[in-house]
A and B are shown apart, each in its own frame.
Chain A
Amino acid sequence: MTQQVTSKKEEEVIAELDSFAELPDSPPKRKFRLTWVGYVSSAVVAFWLIICVIGPSIAPFHEMDMEGDDSFLPAYSGEYGSFYLGTDYLSRDTLSRILYGARNTIGISLAATLIAYLIGITLGILAAVKGGWIDMGISRVNDAILALPTIMLGLIVIAALGSSIPILIGTAAVIYATSVFRIARALGQDIMVQDFVEAAQTRGEGIWWIIRAEVLPNAAMPLATDFGLRLVFVVLFISSLSFLGLGVQPPASDWGSMVRGNLGGLTYGSYAAIWPALAIASFTIAVNLIVDDISAKSGGSLAKKMV
């Protein structure tokens, strides 16, 4: 029940590593200049987002082309063309499949996270602003879904409905909307009791005006940071399901299912399972490092700086 809260707090509490230079009594400056780690991570994320768009057009082969007649070949250039990362268990070009797979893995996760945000923020702000029965009803259902391990929910839905891309996106969106709801509701409640909201209410502003002009702008920054974390969770969720053979179905390429399919090749010294795994890791680590960088920059206390 409290897992999401704890992991959120953990992110907020990450120590300010670079704050020793500041004097203890100087007020913390609001600045969003990233460290070099942040810049490198942003470059990695940008790279993969670009690959999502242009990946299939720069890939040397089609994702389903079975070139040559040997599986698990190491990187080589031969009569069939150049395989920079070797071939997989069905003698398809690993590099091309990674380039194609970016669209599935990152695309599905982005779509699911965006929908989760749409649902979560709408319901969360609604619950915070309206309160009463609406709040009670939505919150109880939300808590019940949050009380289950995400992978279990995914497995139950897929056992019942089978796996397809719309079902994957829908399942991930609903599961992760619950944690967005919690955060949006908490932020909304904090903002609703501020003096400026009270002033607006006294002025006679309508509820929609307050949401648009007061609540959303003030909740935007924390929600944006949280978006990164949520995206990482969704990528892990989707690729774990694919890895179990229950996510994106072959022959479509997806990083999670590529790792699973090529796992057997490890014993023959083929790295076909390692490359897609590294692709996932580079994306998720980069997103997390950016989030970390931003949250480490915002605020801190005397004791944390001194100890």
Chain B
Amino acid sequence: MMTRMVMQRIGIGFATLWVVSVIIFVATSILPGDVAEIVLGQSATPETLAALRAELGLDQPWYVRYFSWLGDMAVGDLGISKAGGATISSLIGGRLGNTLMMAGWVSVISIPISIALGLWAAMHPGTWLDRIVTFGTLSLISVPEFFIATIAVLVLAVELHWLPSTAYMTGEESFWELMKALAMPLITLVIVVSAQMIRMTRAGILNVMSSPYIEMAILKGVPRGRIIMRHAFYNAIGPIINVIALNLAYLVSGVVIVETIFAYPGLAKLMIDGVQTRDLPLVQACAMIFCGTYVVLILLADIGSILSNPRLRNPK
């Protein structure tokens, strides 16, 4: 039963990925104005347009283009960027590494902090410390990422002169210099992502706390700390795994803003530049990577919550 459910989820995941590819392709290709027009711009004559379209394969019907695009993408050929004519794979290569490095550090820092604070707040509901955590995280999730980034620049770079306000990297700096360059975007993203995770962890625990068996434990006099650590926590693991994966997925949008504001050479910055210059092949490739990651993370969350639920793990 469990294997079947997991396989089913993986199947749905692939189906979603396929639909995502259709959405991205349709949104960027069937709309008026094609790459040939954008490339040639003012100098377009009907003949040059037709020639370039034939060269790029744009004269083919859309379904032929879709499948050749999908096929190329599947074997790692992401196409050629409009600007400069470099292959998109070469543009993305290093950028993707930078973004993954950032995401990795954010996860390593924010997951333990969030679970600890969320648990702690759930253990003391209604106290003024819990109120501060609740109010603080609510405020943080209500404001745009760039608000937090702006305040971080104001305090840490302008007022205190502790950190540089841009994450400029040459690729040859020492570990310490690298950390210093990464610090500001890291701090911003950790705040953004942790606020969400703390709230959801706290809510997940409190949700479990309202079930009848906890009520029973309260009535028979089990101490509060023991109820949370022994009774509630294990049943909240499923929701918490879900929360973690969802928030790493939430990183996707945080990364877009943070890489832009700190000029961090990551994939999101590349994509924004692509949107600004309307470099559609580049945007398609980046969007596919981001959306694919997002779908996979949510799939992992789904599978995680199936695995952590004994009723689903052990078939009747």
Contacts and interface: CB of A to CB of B under 8 A. Distances in A.
Given A156-B287, A243-B144, A302-B215, A266 B210 contact: no
Interface stretch (A67-75, A143-151, A199-207, A217-225): A143-151
B3 interface: no
A246 B271 CA distance: 12
A285 B143 contact: yes
Interface string A284-307: 110111001000000011111011
Decide if the interface of chain A is mainly helix, strand, loop or mixed. helix
A149 B290 contact: yes
B131 interface: yes
A144 B20 contact: yes
B203 A1 contact: no
Contacts of B147: 259, 277, 280-281
A232 B142 contact: yes
A201 to B, nearest CB: 34
A263 B150 contact: yes
A77 interface: no
A157 B27 contact: yes
Interface residues of B, number: 71
Nearest to B239: A6
B203 A307 contact: no
Contacts of A302: 210, 215
A117 B19 CA distance: 24
A155 to B, nearest CB: 5
A277 B251 CA distance: 21
Interface string B147-158: 100110110011
Interface string B13-53: 00010011001100110010000000000000000000000
B280 interface: yes
Given A1-B302, A244-B257, A303-B209, A274 B150 contact: yes
B266 to A, nearest CB: 14
Interface in B182-212: 199-200, 203-204, 206-207, 209-211
Contact of A277 (B150, B157, B218, B224): B150
Contacts of B276: 245-246
A281 B206 contact: no
Contact of B298 (A147, A155, A240): A147
Contacts of A64: none
Interface in A250-301: 256, 259-260, 263, 266-267, 269, 273-274, 277, 280-281, 284-285, 287-289, 292, 300-301
B298 A263 contact: no
Contacts of A160: 27-28, 31, 280
B142 A246 contact: no
Nearest to A161: B31
Contact of A155 (B139, B214, B272): B272
Contact of A240 (B150, B210, B218, B257): B257
A10 interface: yes
The interface size bin for chain A is 35 or more
Nearest to A140: B19
Interface stretch (B63-71, B107-115, B241-249): B241-249
Contacts of B239: 6
A236 interface: yes
A84 to B, nearest CB: 20
B129 interface: no
Contacts of A245: 276
A111 to B, nearest CB: 19
Given A161-B31, A307-B227, A152 B290 contact: yes
Interface in A1-54: 1-3, 6-7, 9-10, 13-15, 17, 20
Contacts of B80: none
Contacts, number: 197
B20 A273 contact: no
B252 interface: yes
A210 interface: no
Given A240-B144, A307-B209, A307-B224, A6 B243 contact: yes
B198 to A, nearest CB: 11
B253 A2 contact: no
Interface in A64-116: none
B178 interface: no
A193 interface: no
A78 B144 CA distance: 34
B125 A307 contact: yes
B138 interface: yes
Contacts of B265: none
18 contacts: A2-B246, A148-B23, A149-B252, A150-B253, A152-B252, A155-B287, A159-B275, A160-B280, A236-B144, A240-B145, A243-B144, A260-B146, A266-B158, A267-B165, A269-B158, A288-B139, A300-B210, A307-B209
Given A156-B28, A267-B158, 13 more contacts: A6-B242, A144-B20, A145-B23, A147-B16, A159-B28, A159-B283, A236-B144, A244-B260, A245-B276, A277-B147, A303-B211, A303-B215, A306-B218
Interface of B: 16, 19-20, 23-24, 27-28, 31, 125-126, 130-131, 134, 138-139, 141-147, 150-151, 153-154, 157-158, 165, 199-200, 203-204, 206-207, 209-211, 214-215, 218, 224, 227, 239, 242-243, 246, 249-250, 252-253, 256-257, 260-261, 271-272, 274-276, 278, 280, 283, 287, 290-291, 294-295, 298, 301-302
Shortest 7 CB-CB distances between A and B: which pairs?
A: A144-B19, A151-B253, A301-B210, A13-B203, A284-B142, A281-B143, A159-B275
